[in-house]
Structure 1
Amino acid sequence: MPYEMGEYYERVSDYDLEYQSQSEQDLPFWRELVMRYTPERVLELACGSGRIGLDLLHSPGKFYLEGLDIEQGMLDSYQRKLSREPEDIQQRVLLHHGDMSDYELEHKGQFDLIILPFNSICHLYEIEQQLDAFRTTYEHLAPGGHFVVDTFLPDIDYLSDALNRPSTVYLEDEIESSDGDFTMLLYTTRKYDAYEQLQHITWTHEKFFTNGENERYLSKLDMHLFFPRELQMLFITTGFKVEAIYGDYLWKPFGKGTRQIVIGRKPKDA
């Protein structure tokens, strides 16, 4: 079946606005991770428009960063933001247009750290796609390198609503634009396919401008939901040792939060 993803990411400026508050939650975690592992070469899969990568480039460690994303519009936005950074930072970044389940980079086997943040793994819909992504990542890591995946922990009550009341409309957020010229309301309807572990989301974006005009558009997004044992098995099956699992961005133990942040390590003798 065809899956919906692209249209949700086409309006990059709206996407950036909708998720600006996420940075307060997860950026401290990624900064701390980089400080703990002190990598020399980092790869961010599904890097988007640079929300995480651009911040990490200002960390104390002077590592090289590569980003990969399947959406060219996101990469174009990332590049524009990067062009406003100091020259020494620009020289440490390399962006790639590609699929995280099928990529081959020049520095294959040399990355100390590969990250897949903020639910982006949910765009790997098929089992073979998932296995290919993990195998390819394993091959790109240096021996002893780490692969970190961050996604939400499925909420059974939430999924029950999506399964039994798929026509219910939820107001997800109300956001002011950075220049104050509009307010955006975000509504969703969600349908859950329990057999495919797939959540079908329809977003309604409504903008109310200060000049009295308004704009309304829809976008669709499909997300595969990963249950804990399933995600851990992907690591183990593809050769990783599961080194740690955290439950939130404050490094709480798994089960003490709403997330599953799994850290896998490629054996040093691999």
Structure 2
Amino acid sequence: MDAQTFDRFAPFYDQDYRHYDEDLPLLVDLAQECGDPVLELGCGTGRVAMALAAAGCQVTGVDLSPALLAVARRKLADSPFAGQVQLVQDDLRHCTLERQDFAFACCVSNTLMHFTTPESQMDVLRNAHRHLRSGGRLFLALFNPDVRRLTEVNGLMELADRWEDEEAGTSVIKWSVRTVDWAAQLQDTLFIYEELLADGSVRRTACPFTLRFLWQHEAELMLQAAGFQVEAVWGDYECSPYDDQAESLLLLAQK
């Protein structure tokens, strides 16, 4: 895992996830229930951090990618709540922040899964535990491994999305290729962004990355080993019970 892997996403991330906000109401509710300050692990371009700040929270966001953080800083500079968000470039496994009394921490959008060994995932969880106050809570959002779906698309190139980038004056097509190693619990993913430029030429950006997915009880045991008590396991952002048909694996745990 390195910063360059995620820097490649910076020109595309916000438009790629332009319609995704289903997690925000629950995250705002949890953050307001727990109180300030709030820590976001893997804040990227600030999608969640800015929503939490807009709801009145004081937020610290940590991310490894300078390019993603640069996008977040540009957005914050034009926002009325820039003073409520602190952005830090660092590694989630090893960072030591100025304060270690956070009331609520969140790690969403499969961020934990970008750490591709059990040891590195445990490092993230232990470091999150270290930065929370006693009684503080951690919320994890992972995808639920859908065996049938992942088997069906294994090795196939799929048209994932397309949009118009009005600022850049380009049309963008996103392709996705996934391959799965079930024994290692690894999904190798390749996103290819094709930009049709005004002169008719095409610019392609390849963004490969690997995710290590977790099963429910494994995730619960890892949280417990990191010092947490698991409070809830949900299958969606309406807090429905988790089952094998769930799209997500969401866990709420307390220090």
Identity %: 26
User: In structure 2, what is the equivalent of residue 189 of structure 1?
Assistant: 177
1:149 correspondence with 2:140: yes
SS in 2 for 1:77: helix
Alignment-mate amino acid for residue 16 of structure 1: D
TM-score of the aligned structures, taking structure 2 as reference length? 0.92
User: In structure 2, what is the equivalent of residue 239 of structure 1?
Assistant: 227
Alignment-mate amino acid for residue 257 of structure 1: A
C-alpha deviation, 1:102, in angstroms = 1.0
C-alpha deviation, 1:160, in angstroms = 2.0
Alpha-carbon separation, structure 2, partners of 1:75 and 1:179: 19
SS in 2 for 1:242: strand
C-alpha deviation, 1:245, in angstroms = 1.2
Where structure 2 has 5 or more consecutive residues not aligned to the other structure, the ranges are none
Alpha-carbon separation, structure 2, partners of 1:11 and 1:139: 30
Contact 2:34/2:137 (8 A) holds in 1? no
Contact 1:112/1:145 (8 A) holds in 2? yes
Aligned ranges for residues 54-133 of structure 1 at < 5 Å? 54-59=50-55, 62-86=56-80, 89-108=81-100, 110-133=101-124
Contact 1:145/1:265 (8 A) holds in 2? yes
SS in 1 for 2:70: helix
Alpha-carbon separation, structure 2, partners of 1:94 and 1:203: 30
User: In structure 2, what is the equivalent of residue 21 of structure 1?
Assistant: 19
Residue 202 of structure 1, aligned match among 190, 197, 200 = 190
Contact 2:31/2:57 (8 A) holds in 1? no
User: In structure 1, what is the equivalent of residue 241 of structure 2?
Assistant: 253
Alignment-mate amino acid for residue 250 of structure 2: I
Alpha-carbon separation, structure 2, partners of 1:90 and 1:197: 39
Where structure 1 has 5 or more consecutive residues not aligned to the other structure, the ranges are none
Contact 2:3/2:66 (8 A) holds in 1? no
SS in 2 for 1:157: helix
Alpha-carbon separation, structure 2, partners of 1:180 and 1:79: 19
C-alpha deviation, 1:202, in angstroms = 1.6
Alignment-mate amino acid for residue 67 of structure 1: G
Alpha-carbon deviations, 1:91-130, whole Å to 9, x = none? Answer: 222111111111111111x100010011111111112211
Alignment-mate amino acid for residue 154 of structure 1: P
User: In structure 1, what is the equivalent of residue 254 of structure 2?
Assistant: 265
User: In structure 2, what is the equivalent of residue 224 of structure 1?
Assistant: 212
**CA-based RMSD:** 2.0
Alpha-carbon deviations, 1:139-184, whole Å to 9, x = none? Answer: 111111100000110000123235xx52x21111122325593322
Alignment-mate amino acid for residue 34 of structure 1: A
